[in-house]
C-alpha cells in the first residue's frame, strides 16, 4: 500500500510539473516525496492578482484513500488571514480536505488528487472572497457591501506587501529603509558564491524551490503591480487602518494600515536589484570560463551548435557572445516576412547564471518592441519546455513562437504589458491601434539598428 501511495504521489507531482498551467507549481526533495511545497499565483482581476501564495502538503500513508494535510505558509508568520477559509494559522478550510463541512458529494474521494486540491484553493481566491464566509447570503445587504469593499481593499494591499514584496526582499537579502537605493552588499549577499561547497540538504539552508520562478514572474508582472498601486492610491489614503471583518477573531485577523507609497518604493527597489543580478552573473561567468567550469563548457558548446544551426537555416537570425563571455549572448531576431514583424531587426540579450539551469536565463529585448508578450522593460513572456530547461535552443524557439503566434488564446496570466494587452484583446478598433503601434516599433527597429 505504501509503495502504491508513493507511486501515485510521484505521478501526480510529475504531471503538475509538466503542466502548462502558469499559476501552479509544485516541488519536493528527493528524500521525502510525501512532503510537497506548492505555489499558487493569484488569479487576474482579483485582490490576489499575481501574488505568490505557498502551501505545505503532507501526504499520509493512506493516500489516496485519505486526503493530505494542507497548510498555508504565506501568513506573515501567522499574523495574516488571507481569506475566510485560509486562516492566519495556515489552516485551509475545504470540504475535500475534511476541514470544513460540505454538501453531500463534496467530500474527499480517491479520484481527486493534488491538482484538484490546489485548484479548489485557487477558487477561494475570487474577486469577492468575502462571499466565502459562511452565512454571507444572510448578511445585511448595505452593511455587507461596505464590508466586502473594505475586505477586498486590505487583501489587495497585503497580497502585494506580504506575498510579493516581502517574499522577494527575503530572496534578495534586501534590508533597511526602502527610501534608500540598494547597496552593493544587498545586491550580492543573496547569491551564494559559486565556489562555495554547500550541502543542499543542510537543515540550516532554507529550501526555496520557487525562488527563481518568483523572480522571473515578478519581472513579468512588475508593471501590473505598479498599475494596481496607482489605482489603489485613488481609493485609500496612506495611514488609513484596515477594517476588521465580523468573522475575524483575536488571533485570526488581517490587521494593519494602508501605505501604498512605501509599497511602490519597495517594488521599485526590488526591480533595481533584480536588474543588477545578470550583471553579477556576467562577472561570475568570466571566472567560471577561466576555470573551465562545467556550466561554462556547456554554454559554449550550445552557443556553437546554435550558431551553426542558424547558418544552415533559411532564417537570418544570428547570435554572438558579448566580450567572448559564454554567459552573455546577443541574439538578433529578424521579423518573419508577410507579418506585422516583417522587416524588423531586434537585438535580444540572454544572460545565464553560473547556476544554470537551476536558475533560468534572464532575457531582455534591447530593441524596443510594442508587443503584448513583451514587458515595457523588454522582458519577454514565453513558455520553455519544462522538461528541457537546459536546452537554450528551445528557449530561443519559445521566444520566437511567442512573438509570431498569430491566433494566441486569451490568457490573463501572460499580462506583462498592460497597455498592449488591453489593446490586443480589446475591440476591433483597439486591435487596429495595437497593430499600428507594433508596426511603428518594427520601423523604428530598422532605423535604430
Q: What positions carry a catalytic annotation? A: 93
Measure CA of the first residue to CA of the last residue in the chain; give whole Å: 64
Are 423 and 437 spatial neighbours (Cβ–Cβ below 8 Å)?
A: yes
SS (H, E, C) 325-393: EEEEEEEEEECCCCCCCCCCEEEEEEECCCCCCCCCCEEEECCCCCCCCECCCCCECCCCCCCCCCCHH
CB 375 within 8 Å of CB 417: yes
Q: Is the dihedral of CA 381, 385, 386, 390 positive or negative?
A: negative
Q: Residue 317 burial by CB count (10 A; 0-12/13-18/19+): exposed, middle or buried?
A: middle
What is the rounded distance in angstroms from the CA atom of residue 237 to the CA atom of residue 419? Answer: 26
Length of the chain, please?
449
* Grid cell digits, residue 274: 533584480
* Helices 294-312 & 392-404 angle (0-180, nearest 10): 50
| Adjacency order of strands within the sheet including 318-322 | 318-322, 325-334, 345-351, 362-365
**Pair 116, 107: CB distance under 8 Å:** no
Sign of CA dihedral 22, 77, 73, 207: positive
How far apart are the C-alpha atoms of 23 and 393, rounded to whole Å?
25
Amino acid at each position: 500500500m505504501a509503495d502504491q501511495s508513493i507511486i501515485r504521489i510521484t505521478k501526480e507531482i510529475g504531471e503538475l510539473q509538466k503542466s502548462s498551467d502558469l499559476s501552479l507549481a509544485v516541488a519536493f526533495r528527493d528524500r521525502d516525496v510525501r512532503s510537497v511545497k506548492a505555489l499558487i499565483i493569484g488569479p487576474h482581476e482579483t485582490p490576489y492578482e499575481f501574488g505568490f501564495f505557498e502551501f505545505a502538503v503532507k501526504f499520509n500513508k493512506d493516500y489516496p484513500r485519505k486526503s493530505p494535510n494542507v497548510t498555508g505558509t504565506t501568513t506573515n508568520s501567522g499574523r495574516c488571514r488571507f481569506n475566510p477559509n485560509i486562516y492566519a494559522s495556515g489552516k485551509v478550510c475545504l470540504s475535500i480536505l475534511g476541514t470544513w463541512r460540505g454538501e453531500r458529494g463534496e467530500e474527499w474521494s480517491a479520484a481527486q488528487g493534488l491538482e484538484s486540491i490546489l485548484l479548489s484553493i485557487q477558487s477561494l481566491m475570487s474577486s469577492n472572497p468575502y462571499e466565502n464566509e459562511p452565512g454571507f447570503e444572510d448578511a445585511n445587504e448595505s452593511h455587507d457591501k461596505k464590508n466586502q469593499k473594505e475586505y477586498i481593499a486590505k487583501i489587495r494591499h497585503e497580497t502585494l506587501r506580504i506575498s510579493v514584496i516581502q517574499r522577494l526582499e527575503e530572496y534578495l537579502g534586501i534590508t533597511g529603509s526602502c527610501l534608500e537605493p540598494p547597496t552593493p552588499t544587498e545586491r550580492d549577499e543573496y547569491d551564494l558564491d559559486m565556489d562555495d561547497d554547500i550541502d543542499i540538504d543542510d537543515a540550516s539552508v532554507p529550501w526555496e524551490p520557487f525562488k527563481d520562478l518568483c523572480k522571473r514572474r515578478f519581472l513579468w508582472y512588475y508593471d501590473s503591480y505598479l498599475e494596481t498601486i496607482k489605482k489603489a492610491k485613488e481609493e485609500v489614503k496612506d495611514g488609513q487602518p484596515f477594517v476588521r471583518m465580523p468573522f475575524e477573531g483575536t488571533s485570526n485577523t488581517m490587521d494593519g494600515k494602508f501605505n501604498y507609497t512605501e509599497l511602490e518604493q519597495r517594488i521599485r527597489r526590488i526591480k533595481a536589484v533584480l536588474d543588477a543580478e545578470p550583471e553579477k552573473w556576467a562577472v561570475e561567468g568570466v571566472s567560471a570560463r577561466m576555470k573551465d567550469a562545467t556550466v561554462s563548457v556547456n554554454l559554449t558548446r550550445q552557443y556553437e551548435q546554435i550558431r551553426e544551426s542558424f547558418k544552415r537555416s533559411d532564417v537570418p537570425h544570428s547570435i554572438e557572445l558579448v566580450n567572448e563571455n559564454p554567459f552573455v549572448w546577443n541574439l538578433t531576431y529578424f521579423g518573419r516576412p508577410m507579418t506585422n514583424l516583417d522587416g524588423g531587426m531586434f537585438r535580444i540579450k540572454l544572460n545565464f547564471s553560473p547556476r544554470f539551469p537551476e536558475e533560468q536565463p534572464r532575457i531582455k529585448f534591447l530593441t524596443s518592441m510594442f508587443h503584448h508578450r513583451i514587458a515595457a522593460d523588454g522582458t519577454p513572456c514565453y513558455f520553455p519546455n519544462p522538461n528541457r530547461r537546459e536546452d537554450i535552443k528551445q528557449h530561443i524557439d519559445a521566444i520566437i513562437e511567442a512573438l509570431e503566434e498569430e491566433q494566441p488564446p486569451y490568457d490573463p496570466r501572460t499580462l506583462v504589458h498592460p497597455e498592449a494587452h488591453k489593446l490586443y484583446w480589446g475591440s476591433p478598433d483597439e486591435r487596429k491601434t495595437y497593430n499600428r503601434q507594433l508596426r511603428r516599433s518594427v520601423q523604428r527597429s530598422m532605423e535604430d539598428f
